[in-house]
Structure 1
Amino acid sequence: MQVQELLQKKSIANKFIAQLRDVNIQTDRMRFRKNIERLGEVLAYELSKELNYDNNEVKTPLGPCKVAVSNDELVICSILRAGLPLHQGILNYFDDAENSFISAYRHHPNNDEKFEVLVEYLASASLEGKTLILADPMLATGKSFANVLKALKPMGMPKKIHLVSVIGSKQGIEYLKSEFPEDSKLWIATIDEELNDRGYIVPGLGDAGDLCFGTKLQH
């Protein structure tokens, strides 16, 4: 799996990441969601450079003009619930893509720090021969992405897989390299050094789902 880290070069994305991490700004849920959406747009733009293109002819008021337009059939699959604003950002740029949604959450069977990632809901288009974009803002252990890939197998074999994330850990990325095809590519805004004992990214930003939509009840 190839990795493309956005913040290796300075850009406006630095501002969005800084605001996502800032505890004094995180209380504004609308801004938090919007910054994830904006990063989805930036990452979608970078990803678009590796799609396949045909030269199409369009008619302007003054004559014909040839324009390169992507011919890839895209399916955007976001992991609920934190993936929704990231999904919207990607969809803003790939507005004719098909869409899939899947749940993946941490289940603590013994009410301690140990957890397993469960997938319980899936609504997906066919993936056969298409380009799959998997979206989840936080790439911590990598188990959510890996379990989602397994759950999507009955939907068909995509010709290419792109993963899109905002913040990831080095440990999670290394895990995904053994779970995804070699020609898969991860598009990520920034990578942090470690995970804590609870499997959260450090320094990270906290629980993206809670910061987007409010604290959830545990069951």
Structure 2
Amino acid sequence: MDLKAAYNNATTTSSSLQTTPLHDAKNGKSWFVKPWTSFQAAASLPDKVPGYERVHVIKRTYFTISLFTQLRDLNSSQEIFVKSARHLISIILSEALNFVPFMPKIVNTPVDGATYTGLEMTDVENLCVVSILRAADSMADHISHHLPGLPVGKILIQRDEKTAKPNVFFKKFPKNIQAKRVILVDPMLATGGSAAEAIQILKDDGVPEHCILMVCIVAADEGLQLLTKRFPQVRIVCGEIDRGLNSQKYIVPGLGDFGDRFFGTN
């Protein structure tokens, strides 16, 4: 039974909440389903990118475009950059969390003994975040703020400025990561080399591809092509997709070095 059907059943009986297994961590397809709202309409998911089966971008609004404008502006102060980045991170992660398991839940409201049939995030204990140091710490910290106690892993990968290839210096993962769903965060997906290296490390540690959700703020087509070809079961959610890379392998139009601008370093 899919989540929509289970939700509809839950509006008439609460038994489905206890008896209907909607998600199986070993089955990639069952993780990625559309939630269903109490208004009998599909919840909003990030738009699927044409040509990419498992790549999504958030829905563009005047507000998100204004935030990207501030992020990309060369003249934005660190204060403005950080404020805009935090707003965007919140929006992108909120949309990305549509792809983790939810179950119907009936609750009593404080008014007239009424009930509300909504959704509850399930299997949170088997969810974790892995950030690619250091820029991604800004994203990992935001998830931890909204989901306190969520385990956070770290991978230190630095790109060789001459070869543009990634070098791995450090990794530290939560216990039993092979049994968890992993939200892998990195603000910028350029060549995709660092992200691919991180995903391969996770796979080597036993994490199935379909249990990895990559979340970024800006992505280049080159990076998306690399990841989707090497790891076709990994799902990717990003804020915007830029037109490509320059000769130095930086995203264009891009926003510069995210870590330096966010943390105020050179």
Find runs of 4+ consecutive structure 1 residues off by over 6 angstroms.
none
Cα distance, 1:51 vs structure 2: 2.2
8 Å contact 1:45–1:93 — kept in the other structure?
no
For the pair 1:136 / 2:189, whether they are aligned, the reply is no
Q: Summarize the alignment of residues 16-31 of structure 1 with structure 2, pairs less than 5 Å apart.
A: 16-25=67-76, 28-31=77-80
Cα distance, 1:57 vs structure 2: 5.1
Cα distance, 1:60 vs structure 2: 5.5
For the pair 1:3 / 2:52, whether they are aligned, the reply is no
Q: For the structure 1 residues 153 and 185, does the alpha-carbon distance in structure 2 shift closer, same or farther, using more than 3 Å as the test?
A: closer
Normalized per residue, the structure richer in strand is 1
Pick the aligned partner of 1:122 from 156, 164, 171.
171
For the pair 1:91 / 2:144, whether they are aligned, the reply is yes
Identity %: 30
Distance (whole Å) between structure 2 residues aligned to residue 89 and residue 42 of structure 1? 11
Look up the match of 1:13: 64
Q: For the structure 1 residues 151 and 50, does the alpha-carbon distance in structure 2 shift closer, same or farther, using more than 3 Å as the test?
A: closer
Q: For the structure 1 residues 149 and 156, does the alpha-carbon distance in structure 2 shift closer, same or farther, using more than 3 Å as the test?
A: same
Unaligned runs of 5+ in 1: none
For the pair 1:188 / 2:213, whether they are aligned, the reply is no
Q: Summarize the alignment of residues 105-184 of structure 1 with structure 2, pairs less than 5 Å apart.
A: 105-108=158-161, 113-125=162-174, 126-158=176-208, 159-180=210-231, 182-184=232-234
Look up the match of 1:47: 96
Normalized per residue, the structure richer in helix is 2
SS at match of 2:178: coil
The one-letter amino acid paired with 2:171 is L
Cα distance, 1:212 vs structure 2: 1.6
How many residue pairs get matched?
Answer: 208
For the pair 1:201 / 2:248, whether they are aligned, the reply is no
Q: Compare 135-144 and 30-39 and name the one that shifted more.
A: 30-39
SS at match of 2:100: coil
SS at match of 1:128: helix
8 Å contact 1:16–1:35 — kept in the other structure?
yes
Distance (whole Å) between structure 1 residues aligned to residue 166 and residue 97 of structure 2? 30
8 Å contact 1:41–1:92 — kept in the other structure?
no
8 Å contact 1:34–1:85 — kept in the other structure?
no
Cα distance, 1:10 vs structure 2: 2.3
Look up the match of 2:85: 36
CA RMSD of aligned residues (A): 2.2
Cα distance, 1:127 vs structure 2: 2.1
Report the TM-score when normalising by structure 2. Answer: 0.70
Distance (whole Å) between structure 1 residues aligned to residue 229 and residue 198 of structure 2? 15
The one-letter amino acid paired with 1:83 is A
Report the TM-score when normalising by structure 1. Answer: 0.84
Larger Rg: 2
